[in-house]
A and B are shown apart, each in its own frame.
Chain A
């Protein structure tokens, strides 16, 4: 029986009675704290709680794979059943991080194989996962159930075959936006005929053909299948057949969804969808020809989530469809929906919580009629709206102020005005006032992306008011060092800061060095940093890793460069593991 040893009281006061309770009692108590932050806080109370908490921790989320070494993580939390690890910095999504940067999953899989034999769930995001990793997963965890890979690369269908063949208890295979090499391996056929436990199958990002007969048999025998997201290789009539075999489906991704119109196929689809009474989430890369949209009007009423962000369906048909979806909570669309489409969303989807509008033609001249109007309408009429990602070409302070007034409950507000440094198109002023209104009104704001013409003043507001802000993305904004200083000296809860193309220099970085240790990471690219400041920062803060990225072609040793050398890309993060040893040529750790 363990004993709590926390002797925090000074001066010989009697220890409280709960200190003699065995660890198992505390472990049971902590099992009621699902949030990792709460468990972390409990673990900080005293050694006894630390011990009890870490030994009973079942779920572990490592937000930066380099913040700790895999072995340390496994040793500290020996009972983990579900682990999530994230790798590359967020801006890697937009091509700002050259290839072979790191974030390999292999060390994590190896450590888990040794220390967590009972592991059931593994999730990797923005990491390099090889076929060998997948083979090791299949071989090491006898009760492996959930594999989720998001924005990963480095593996092929051969690796998938190892998973499908080896993981007898697999419940979820969820592949989101990965780059998967097609080795024509029959990964789908590798599921044994006796295998029936699948609940989630998402292979939407796979480019190759799949054996439809095999898929159909799999879907038929997995009675608990709730989520099925197909890739583009599955034609419409096959989708209809699958739906008839799995009418209890809750989430469906349809792939390409286009074909020339045939009344027979239409009827088939309509009947198939009519049978899906449990369908709540729908997605797909629907093509421009909307002939078949009306085939699933029947499911619209039940839909809570609709992802048409890869669909090139234009306004009128799209609107007709969405106007039937009265219970939508989550909507992802392209700007082809235009302002009047969003007005329909505003009047129809009173339960909307999350809206994302993506650009259909990010590099074009933009003839699409999506403006600030659409966002104003939605935020005025959807009382539960709390998360927005909005790409548009113009904005005004007035619109932002109105939005802030209408929706103080935003937790995530990401606005991307496509052309950098675009001012308020009516007053030609900066958008400082608008974004200031957002942070002043939305007290619960956790994530913010700003864009358009912005001066240092907006960062003053953000620093002062955005107390709960955890993640901030800035591009082409600010006038001077002051801007960065306002952020780093304010923003009490800041965890992730990513900046590109801003005139921020060395001074605010050094003046606020201590702040960086309270944050998970900082990314700065195309700013005004020099090597000397980075050296100073690294020296001052030994628990930070200061990484500098040069052009891949130029592998010049850092020591040879003078202090004044400009730093193009900087990535700083806190770590207890010391500098990593797997850096490519173009990354240097200061």
Chain B
């Protein structure tokens, strides 16, 4: 529930027991290496086993057991609710031109010190999800591009806002972006030729 600023997308697990780590896709596009940057939670101890030795031998304690016990840990319901609303996630679909399937990212995971840090982190996460070799370039006028160095294809990050318009990522403050973004699309540069580059803020 705390906001992580790591590169990989952090998915919060609902206390109801549905564990996103179990259902997250880890397949990559053909030709990619298998380094798994997603943090997987080790569920090493059997939740129903209560003997002290079992609990002791597993260093990360099983979170699932704690989550299933009513009223434990003793955190006030008021505080729990406050934390939950603070950590409300916003998952949006990410489509990449030419990829066979879409991914999802949690935009609330990238709140950082400044807007530009957040955007950097988002793009880094998109790289992890879609490309085997990572670079992204920021041009002089603040425009961002993702480049697959193997194939040389350039992608421009765009998003669909609440009005249904396709906008260039990076123009507005991060919070406004999170608020209005409905889905992301990495558009091939060749297709984006007609998009007039907007002036940086």
Q: State A457–B77 Cα separation when bound (angstroms).
A: 32
Closest to A389 in B: B74
Nearest Cβ distance between residue B97 and chain A, in whole angstroms? Answer: 30
Q: Looking at the complex, which one of A94, A261, A419, A473 makes contact with B65 (CB distance below 8 Å)?
A: A419
Q: Does B140 belong to the interface (CB within 8 Å)?
A: no
Cross-chain contact A260 with B2 (CB below 8 angstroms): no
Number of A residues with CB within 8 Å of any CB on chain B: 52
Closest to A414 in B: B74
Q: Looking at the complex, which one of A96, A359, A360, A363 makes contact with B15 (CB distance below 8 Å)?
A: A363
Q: Looking at the complex, which one of A261, A287, A416, A428 makes contact with B53 (CB distance below 8 Å)?
A: A428
Q: Does A162 belong to the interface (CB within 8 Å)?
A: no
Q: Inside 8 A of B67's CB, which chain A residues have their CB?
A: 363
Q: Does B101 belong to the interface (CB within 8 Å)?
A: no
Q: Looking at the complex, which one of A95, A362, A368, A430 makes contact with B66 (CB distance below 8 Å)?
A: A362
Cross-chain contact A205 with B86 (CB below 8 angstroms): no
Q: State A310–B174 Cα separation when bound (angstroms).
A: 22
Q: Inside 8 A of A362's CB, which chain B residues have their CB?
A: 66, 73, 75, 80, 83
User: Given contacts A358-B79, A420-B69, are A261 and B60 in contact (CB under 8 A)?
Assistant: no
Q: Which of B1-54 contact A (CB under 8 A)?
A: 1-3, 5, 12-13, 15, 41-42, 50, 52-53
Instruction: Tally the A-B contacts, defined by beta carbons under 8 Å.
Output: 132
Q: Which of A405-438 contact B (CB under 8 A)?
A: 416, 418-423, 425, 428, 430
User: Given contacts A358-B79, A363-B67, A418-B66, are A310 and B74 in contact (CB under 8 A)?
Assistant: no
Select the stretch in B111-119, B144-152, B185-193 that faces chain A.
Answer: B111-119
Cross-chain contact B61 with A423 (CB below 8 angstroms): no
Cross-chain contact A421 with B41 (CB below 8 angstroms): no
Nearest Cβ distance between residue A404 and chain B, in whole angstroms? Answer: 22
Q: State A470–B83 Cα separation when bound (angstroms).
A: 31
Cross-chain contact B78 with A366 (CB below 8 angstroms): no
Cross-chain contact A453 with B65 (CB below 8 angstroms): no
Q: Which of B52-74 contact A (CB under 8 A)?
A: 52-53, 55-56, 60-63, 65-67, 69-74
Of the listed residues B2, B111, B175, the one surrounded by the most CB atoms of chain A closer than 10 A to its CB is B2
Closest to A256 in B: B86
Q: State A201–B180 Cα separation when bound (angstroms).
A: 35
Cross-chain contact A260 with B13 (CB below 8 angstroms): no
Q: State A393–B114 Cα separation when bound (angstroms).
A: 32
Q: Inside 8 A of A260's CB, which chain B residues have their CB?
A: 115, 173-176
Q: State A111–B112 Cα separation when bound (angstroms).
A: 55
Cross-chain contact B3 with A288 (CB below 8 angstroms): yes
Q: Which of A115-148 contact B (CB under 8 A)?
A: none
Of the listed residues B53, B78, B112, the one surrounded by the most CB atoms of chain A closer than 10 A to its CB is B78
Q: State A120–B62 Cα separation when bound (angstroms).
A: 51
Q: Does A280 belong to the interface (CB within 8 Å)?
A: no
Q: Inside 8 A of B114's CB, which chain A residues have their CB?
A: 261, 291
Q: Which of A83-124 contact B (CB under 8 A)?
A: 91, 93-96
Closest to B74 in A: A94
Cross-chain contact B3 with A423 (CB below 8 angstroms): no
Cross-chain contact A421 with B52 (CB below 8 angstroms): yes
Interface residues of A (CB under 8 A from B): 91, 93-96, 151, 177, 179, 205, 259-261, 285, 287-291, 309-310, 312, 314, 334, 336, 358-366, 368, 391, 393, 416, 418-423, 425, 428, 430, 449, 453, 473, 475, 500-501
List, sorted by A's number, 29 A–B pairs whose CB atoms are closer than 8 Å: A91-B71, A94-B74, A94-B75, A151-B76, A179-B78, A260-B175, A285-B82, A289-B111, A289-B112, A289-B113, A291-B114, A310-B82, A358-B79, A361-B1, A361-B2, A362-B66, A362-B73, A363-B63, A363-B67, A364-B12, A391-B75, A416-B73, A418-B61, A419-B61, A422-B56, A422-B61, A423-B56, A428-B53, A453-B55
Q: A177-B76, A260-B175, A428-B52 are in contact. List 9 more A-B contacts (CB 8 A).
A: A94-B76, A291-B114, A309-B79, A312-B2, A361-B1, A365-B60, A365-B61, A423-B55, A500-B71
